[in-house]
Amino acid sequence: MGRWLTVALVVGLASPIASAADLTDAALRAYEAHFEAVRQAFVARATAAPDNRTERDASRANRGVVQPGSGDGILSIADSLVHHWRGEIFLPGVTLDRVIAISQAYADYPRIFKPVRAVTVLPPAGDALNVRFRMKASGGGLSATLDVRSRIRWVRVDERRAYVVTSSEEIREVANAGGSAERLLPEGHDSGYLWRAASMTSYVAGNGGVWMVMETVGLSRPFPPLLGWVIEPVVRRVGRGSVGDSMQEFAQALSARGSKLAP
């Protein structure tokens, strides 16, 4: 799903910098190593035997629970920052098939998630989907538009479980979006709001609904010198809140489309 775009874009925009930034090879290597470790751990959890959660657990997670995915949610790596958050929500009265159907309805994302302005489904590559998202978000007094081409791979583990891993193949910042002078900035040579991004979401049916666990990982430029101590708490608060908002948007989409009915 495209929820990870919401999180990574907003936390990147929270830095009040409009000057250009460059994605370095060191930053890219560090991000790829971190993401691969996170991905492997996620897949191990998503394919393990489901735990026995109670109705009390479902009640607690009904409105969404968000926590840092690594450290305190923001990691400083080579020439950049990694933003890693994990959210969980219980979706009552729905079937796993219904949840997957809504999750895979990418053309409807502009009506579900606020930052998504347009979606183009591209030809698939093997067992993976290719989808281009046009995103627009604002924060810290700035706004930006990005074109994000994503690789999406779904796995149905069994009748109760499924998961999806989405990773960016290309992210391009759009200058003068919507105008006659619209153009794509060179990849990795832009404002540095979002250089790489990924999301991993697992779904487990149980307790009369579906448990959804989402992890988001984004790579952005570092905080500006001397201002990091001011900006970091804001970015962390916005990142946590964005995950919760995105889960609620998805839950509302399920409810609005008669989620209590089988697909």
Q: Is residue 159 in a domain? A: yes
Q: What is the pLDDT of residue 246?
A: 86
Segments forming the whole domain that contains residue 120? 3-256
Calculate the alpha carbon distances from 39 to 7, 25, 117, 258 in Å: 18, 21, 28, 32
- Tell me, yes or no, whether 261 lies in a domain: no
Instruction: Give residue-wise pLDDT tens across range 143-198.
Output: 789 999 999 999 999 999 999 999 999 999 999 998 999 999 999 998 888 899 99
What pLDDT score was predicted for residue 111?
93
In a domain, 262, yes or no: no
> Taking 90 as the threshold, does the pLDDT of residue 19 lie above it?
no
- Contact assessment for residue 21 and residue 241, using Cβ atoms and an 8 Å cutoff: no
Distance separating alpha carbons of residues 202 and 114, to the nearest angstrom: 22
Q: Which class for 155: exposed (0-12), middle (13-18), buried (19 or more C-beta within 10 A)?
A: middle
> Is residue 146, in this structure, part of any structural domain at all?
yes
Share of the chain above pLDDT 70, in %: 84
Max alpha carbon distance in the chain (Å)?
A: 56
Tens-place pLDDT, residues 100-145: 999 999 999 999 998 899 999 999 888 899 999 998 877 656 678 9
- Residue 225's pLDDT is 72
Residue 50 counted as domain residue: yes
245 pLDDT tier (thresholds 50, 70, 90): confident
The torsion angles phi and psi of 5, rounded to 5 degrees, stand at -65, -40
pLDDT for the residue numbered 243: 82
> What was the pLDDT predicted at 262?
42
DSSP code, position 154: E
Assess whether pLDDT exceeds 70 at residue 200. Answer: yes
Kindly indicate the confidence band of residue 52, based on its pLDDT and cuts at 50, 70 and 90: confident
CA dihedral over 236, 241, 247, 253, signed as positive or negative: negative
In-domain check, residue 263: no
- State the pLDDT at residue 259: 45
Q: Residue 52 and residue 99: Cα distance in Å, rounded?
A: 20
Where residue 98 sits, what CATH number does that domain have? 3.30.530.20
Distance CA 106, CA 219 (A): 23
- Total number of domains constituting the chain: 1
From 246, 208, 204, select the one nearest 8 (Cα to Cα): 246
pLDDT for residue 13 is more than 50: yes
In-domain check, residue 117: yes
Q: Is the pLDDT of residue 11 over 50?
A: no
Q: What is residue 133's three-state secondary structure? A: strand
- pLDDT mean across residues, the chain: 85
For the record, the structure tokens of 259 come out as 């989620």
Report the pLDDT value the prediction gives residue 15, as an integer from 0 to 100: 53
Residue 151 lies in a domain: yes
pLDDT computed for residue 230 by the predictor: 60
Of 237 and 124, which is predicted with more confidence? 124
Q: What is the reported pTM? A: 0.88
Query: Phi/psi at 52 (nearest 5 deg)?
Result: -90, 90
pLDDT at 32 exceeding the cut of 60: yes
